[in-house]
Structure 1
């Protein structure tokens, strides 16, 4: 009888063993690291710290250095641009460096972007919930972008100072237009995706009118070319309407040297426009002239 009980206990242990093995968690697999990329944190002269993401080509740089495309909201958008840039290396054409400018966080977006991308608190009811957030720092951020950061990227990689481009989406698109209006020669190309012109509409429209007047008067010796994109399913329809109206207003300035292109992406909402815009942005940024 004792032998029978012993055999029964052994059988029970044997049957339980697979179940116990299944309950033990598997070792964590390593995370995916994107090839041909690097990241570093950089403290700006104004005191803020930014997380910088870089995607770079293989091989020797071209004569004159690589074109550089700066992507705002780097935490959210860098990966899409970086992998597409890497795939485009397989096709004939210019290689480029992509630099994502973000914040030291694992979140896609950081509230600091409101301060960095705007000139004042919002006057739009659509953005009322953000009215109390810190804002108005876009010139300070632009100084960092075109000064300290550009210099640092130039130290780490061989870059072409005459082929620097900027991509911004939503509030980043608003910032991109501010850059065009106030420092029109700072970039070779500017891409504004679903720009939130209505954040503080009066300020932005005045900047546009002042820029147009200076351009017509011959006071802008060098001006970036401009690509404006939006989606036909923008949740805030003003972002589509404003983009369309803006392009109609700005297109006549081609007579004074502003080259503008635009596209409305079918089937895309506000948050999917940047992904759809990646190939068009890279081609627009790296093509020469």
Structure 2
């Protein structure tokens, strides 16, 4: 699928063989589809008789046979990071997250709705690492775009000051009751993340988010024992599906 801006994506879809419910199927959009779609799809398929299996999984990937593509750096970020640890990526294309968000919630969602009977009120998003960073960006900037957001090992340190400013604005608006509809949020990470910062940032983030439950933001979090940065997505699949598809 080619976006209106000329970016190319490979879209994967897993859907039930039964008729759609009256209100339509709920949908989980999974970023980095080349890497993790198959695991989510199979978990959904073997539970098709259950609430979480009677749903659609949409993977957003890239036209490559590799699990990850450099395009994700552009799609999931607002620009390069200042971290010296990632200096090698400084000259790579980045900064397209809002363009990608427009594609995700506009063109792609409309195309899925044409092909399948879906419930527009039950749309969830899963992102890992930079995809998790993007998922948090969606929460802050379009808090009602999805009914549930799952951020796995989110790279919140990537452009920390900008994210903190977005978080402060989101928190202020939420506490002022200016956000009529807000996603629920799940954050997961592994105790064996590649760096301590990759663990500390999500831990601190969820502590800041939890008090916002008084203003409508429902949160869930877990640090997985014996899991590292790249194994967190597979560990989180069942929990993510339950979080995304349990109703209300």
TM-score range, shorter chain: over 0.9
Aligned equivalent of 2:32: 73
CA contact (8 A) 2:26 2:245 kept: yes
- The answer to whether residue 122 in structure 2 is matched with residue 163 in structure 1 is yes
Report the Cα offset of residue 126 of structure 1: 2.2
Aligned equivalent of 1:118: 77
Q: How many residues in Structure 1 have an aligned counterpart in Structure 2?
A: 248
Aligned equivalent of 2:149: 190
CA contact (8 A) 2:52 2:241 kept: no
Rounded to whole Å, the distance in 2 between the matches of 1:203 and 1:92 is 38
**Which fold has the larger relative contact order, with Cα–Cα distance below 8 Å and residues 6 or more apart in sequence?**
2
Give secondary structure in 2 for the equivalent of 1:162. strand
Return the TM-score normalized by structure 2: 0.98
Aligned with 1:95 (options 50, 54, 57): 54
Rounded to whole Å, the distance in 2 between the matches of 1:153 and 1:238 is 37
Report the Cα offset of residue 88 of structure 1: 1.5
Report the Cα offset of residue 93 of structure 1: 5.3
CA contact (8 A) 1:227 1:260 kept: yes
Give secondary structure in 1 for the equivalent of 2:36. helix
- The answer to whether residue 220 in structure 2 is matched with residue 261 in structure 1 is yes
Aligned equivalent of 1:17: none
Deviations 1:199-233 (A, max 9, x none): 11111111111100111111111000000000011
- The answer to whether residue 164 in structure 2 is matched with residue 205 in structure 1 is yes
Change beyond 3 A, Cα 1:273–1:211: same
Rounded to whole Å, the distance in 1 between the matches of 2:88 and 2:228 is 21
CA contact (8 A) 2:150 2:240 kept: yes
Larger-gyration structure (1/2) = 1
CA contact (8 A) 1:167 1:192 kept: yes
Change beyond 3 A, Cα 1:233–1:153: same
Change beyond 3 A, Cα 1:64–1:135: same
Provide structure 1 residue ranges, at least 5 long, that are not aligned to the other structure: 1-41
Alignment of 1:213-228 (within 5 A): 213-228=172-187
User: Where in structure 1 do 4 or more consecutive aligned residues deviate above 4 Å?
Assistant: none
CA contact (8 A) 2:126 2:135 kept: yes
